[in-house]
Amino acid sequence: MSEQTVQIRTSGKVLQSPCGPIVHGLEDVLIKNTTISDIDGEKGILWYRGYRIEDLAKFSNYEEVSFLVLYGRLPTRSELKEYERRLKSSRDLHPATVEVIRALAKAHPMFALEAAVAAEGAYDEDNQKLIEALRVGRYKAEEKELAYRIAEKLIAKLPTMVAYHYRFSKGLELVRPRDDLSHAANFLYMMFGKEPDPLAAKGIDLYLILHADHEVPASTFTAHVVASTLSDLYSSVAAAIAALKGPLHGGANEMAVRNYLEIGDPSKAKELVEAATKPGGPKLMGVGHRVYKAYDPRARIFKEFSRDYVAKFGDPKNLFAVASAIEHEVLNNPYFQQRKLYPNVDFWSGIAFYYMGVPYEYFTPIFAVSRVVGWVAHILEYWENNRIFRPRACYAGPHDLQYIPIDQR
């Protein structure tokens, strides 16, 4: 390594490296070619497989979108019907997985979700077959078909895992999945034990569409890293869930709703936003994004849904009113304008969840219920040209120190 010290400015600070440029946090580092999703952060555009998120949100549902993300094209009517049938037939869990979830009833649901995914992988015979094939370096047509079957199972099972944990955490009897309900409606049915209001089911379906993929954030990158070792899909998704659990990734919508409840009164928004511009001031959760330097298109879509939801069911805690007032102040404040900080999807998505009766701690698991299709699609794409990830670190310590025996130190 060169002994020359290189200064790198990243995220507002200078890093020292004797080895060469270090991209702190791997910001904007390219890891592969993809056809799954694309983001124009400057213009605020999101595409899945070339389709604008606005069109998919308006015309599609999660089942069709998940098929698109996973298989790379929109399905025919017969293909979609058969895909839905396969998902419905895979919704329930191995009895041992159910017991794992029961044992973790008092744990945060993200811990239970990690464990449940790993457990289900241990008992899935298809997964064991794929593991054996990957172990000997075999990944041809038969193994790919197996991998896609496992991917579909993961999409089908994550809602059940989350709903079962909710039931156990409340000391309630399990509500088994029904095969006559959509992906979103069945999820709410399993959680609350009754068929959901159609608008609530629409809201969950919309949320699942908006979060199905988002290029390569931390959780998706984690899935790539694990899968690159030729570990299995279940283990890769469990690792992705662990990354999503971190407060810098998932969970911003929970904190946003907590902020709205604490503020309580829209008239306080101007003072709050002004305080956020000062050093050491409060952080506005759901404002700003690593990629978007314009208004998040998903936020615009879910804002409209949130407006419809409170119009029907009311806004007794002033959540929508407070959020609207904060947004108005943010969009008209020079501090946020100059830094291109706009509301993102987390700014709006938790409001409807709260009014549906979904506890805060389940907001991020529902994110995982959506994003699982993006995780598995990226893994399968990467396996087409797999190479194990092996980055390097710049060693900045001494060499060839003399060892001193312990009784001479």
pLDDT in tens, 182-196: 999 999 999 999 999
Q: What is the CA radius of gyration of the chain?
A: 23
Q: What is the DSSP letter of 26?
A: G
Q: Are strands 51-52 and 13-17 parallel, antiparallel or unpaired?
A: unpaired
- Helix (H) or strand (E) holding 133, with range, is helix 125-135
pLDDT at residue 262, as a whole number: 93
The residue count of the chain comes to 409
Q: How far apart are the first and last CA of the chain?
A: 31
How does residue 16 score in pLDDT terms, banded at 50, 70 and 90?
Answer: low
How far apart are alpha carbons 295 and 263 in whole angstroms?
23
How far apart, in Å, are the Cα atoms of 51 and each of 295, 297, 324, 348, 381? 18, 13, 29, 23, 18
Among 137, 129, 153, 154, smallest CA distance to 386 is for: 137
Quick: pLDDT tens for 125-138.
999 999 999 999 99
Closest CA to 67 of 156, 144, 127, 140: 156
DSSP state of 124: -
Which residues are CB-neighbours of 96 under 8 A, at least 6 positions away? 119, 122, 123
CA neighbor of 113 nearest in space, from 378, 376, 358, 367: 367
Looking at the chain, the whole-number percentage of residues with pLDDT higher than 90 is: 88
Please tell me the predicted confidence (pLDDT) of residue 24. 83
Cα separation, 204 vs 228, whole angstroms: 32
Phi, psi of 282, deg, nearest 5: -65, 150
For the segment 271-318, what is each residue's pLDDT rounded down to a tens digit?
999 999 999 988 898 999 989 999 999 999 999 999 999 999 999 999
Structure confidence at residue 176 as a pLDDT band (50, 70, 90): very high
- Distance of alpha carbon 68 from alpha carbon 62, whole angstroms: 10
3-state secondary structure of 262: helix
Q: What is the pLDDT of residue 189?
A: 98
How is residue 16 annotated by DSSP? E
Residue in 215, 287, 224, 219 with CA at minimum distance from that of residue 39: 215
Q: Which two tokens stand for residue 198?
A: 């159609």
- How buried is residue 346: exposed, middle or buried, by Cβ count under 10 Å (0-12/13-18/19+)? buried
Out of 5-14, 62-71, 161-170, 398-407, least confident range: 5-14
Grade residue 3 by pLDDT with cuts at 50, 70 and 90. Answer: very low
pLDDT grade for 22, boundaries at 50, 70 and 90: confident
pLDDT at 7 over 60: no
Residue type, 221: F
Q: What's the chain's average pLDDT? A: 94
Please say whether the beta carbons of 263 and 277 come within 8 A: no
CB 318 within 8 A of CB 266: yes
The residues assigned a catalytic role are 289, 346
What confidence tens digit (pLDDT) does each residue in 313-341 have?
A: 999 999 999 999 999 999 999 999 999 99
CB 347 within 8 A of CB 299: yes
pLDDT at 14: 41
15: enclosing H helix or E strand: strand 13-17
Q: Is residue 407 over pLDDT 70?
A: yes
Instruction: Indicate whether 389 pLDDT > 70.
Output: yes
| pLDDT, mean of residues 47-58 | 98
Give the pLDDT of residue 290.
86
pLDDT at position 15 is 62
Q: Which of 8, 24, 25 is nearest to 16 (CA)?
A: 8
Kindly report, residue by residue over 59-99, the tens digit of the pLDDT: 999 999 999 999 999 999 999 999 999 999 999 999 999 99
